C-alpha cells in the first residue's frame, strides 16, 4: 500500500496549522519518494528527519525534524552528532537588528505533552565540517542526545528546501 502526501499534508498531519506554499515555490517543487520514519525513545517521538542537500564543496548543512514529548515533564535536546560532520550544534534564528541570523544555543526544551518543529527559519541542527556531499535520495545517521539521558538514532533523508515529500508506507 502506498500513501502519497504532499509536504503540506504531511505537516498538517504531524503538527497544527496547515500552510499554503506560495505559487512560485509550488512551481519549483519536485517530487520524490521516501520513507518518513518515526523514531520512538522513551517518552519522545521524533518524526520525519531530513537534511538539506549540499552543493559540491559546501561544508555545512542543516537537519530538521519534529520532536514530540509525550511525558508530563519538560525534556531538552542538549546535543547531537553525525558521522558525516566534524561537529553538530543546536541553532535557532534570532533577529536582534531586524535581520534574521543563526544563533547557537545550548538546549532546546520540548515542553510536556507538546511538540516542537525544527524547520527552515527556526530551530535546526547545524552540521559543520561535512566530510561528504549530501545528495538527494540518500540518508545519513544523526544521533540526538536529551536531558533525560536518552539518545535517538535517526536516519535523515536528504531533501532540497521546497521539495514535495511523498510518503511511502
Ligand atoms: Cu544554523
Pick left, alpha or beta for residue 83 (phi over 0 → left; psi -120 to 50 → alpha; otherwise beta): alpha
Q: Ligand 1 is a single-atom ion; what residues have CB below 5 A from it?
A: 91, 102, 126
**Within a domain: 129:** yes
Cα–ligand 1 centroid distance for 58 (angstroms): 14
Model confidence pLDDT, tens digit, residues 38-76:
899 999 999 999 999 999 999 999 999 999 999 999 999
Global pTM reads: 0.77
Q: Which residues are bridge partners to 47 per DSSP?
A: 38, 66
- Between β-strands 124-130 and 101-104, what pairing exists: parallel, antiparallel or unpaired? unpaired
156 within domain boundaries: yes
Say how many domains are in the chain. Answer: 1
Find the 143 Cα to ligand 1 centroid distance in Å. 17
Model confidence pLDDT, tens digit, residues 121-150 = 999 999 999 999 999 989 999 999 999 999
CATH number at residue 61: 2.60.40.1890
Whether 17 is covered by a domain: the verdict is: no
- Does the residue 149 lie in any domain? yes
Report the separation in Å between the CA atom of 169 and the middle of ligand 1, taken as the mean of its atom positions: 31
**Residue matched to cell numbers 519522545:** 44
Does the residue 13 lie in any domain? Answer: no
Does residue 26 lie in a domain region? no
Answer yes or no: is 141 within a domain: yes
Residue 56's domain spans which residues? 37-161
Cα 3 to ligand 1 centre (Å): 32
Amino acid at each position: 500500500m502506498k500513501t502519497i502526501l504532499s509536504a503540506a499534508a504531511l505537516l498538517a498531519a504531524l503538527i497544527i496549522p496547515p500552510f499554503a506554499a506560495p505559487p512560485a515555490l509550488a512551481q519549483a517543487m519536485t517530487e520524490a519518494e521516501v520513507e518518513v520514519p518515526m523514531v520512538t525513545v522513551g517518552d519522545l517521538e521524533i518524526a520525519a528527519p531530513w537534511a538539506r542537500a549540499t552543493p559540491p564543496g559546501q561544508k555545512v548543512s542543516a537537519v530538521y525534524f519534529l520532536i514530540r514529548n509525550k511525558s508530563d515533564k519538560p525534556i531538552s535536546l542538549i546535543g547531537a552528532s553525525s558521522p558525516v560532520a566534524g561537529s553538530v550544534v543546536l541553532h535557532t534564528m534570532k533577529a536582534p537588528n531586524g535581520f534574521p541570523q543563526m544563533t547557537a544555543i545550548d538546549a532546546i526544551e520540548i515542553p510536556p505533552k507538546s511538540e516542537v518543529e525544527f524547520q527552515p527559519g527556526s530551530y535546526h541542527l547545524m552540521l559543520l565540517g561535512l566530510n561528504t556531499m549530501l545528495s538527494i535520495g540518500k540518508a545519513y545517521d544523526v544521533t540526538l542526545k536529551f536531558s533525560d539521558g536518552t539518545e535517538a538514532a535517526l536516519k535523515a533523508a536528504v531533501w532540497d528546501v521546497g521539495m514535495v515529500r511523498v510518503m511511502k508506507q
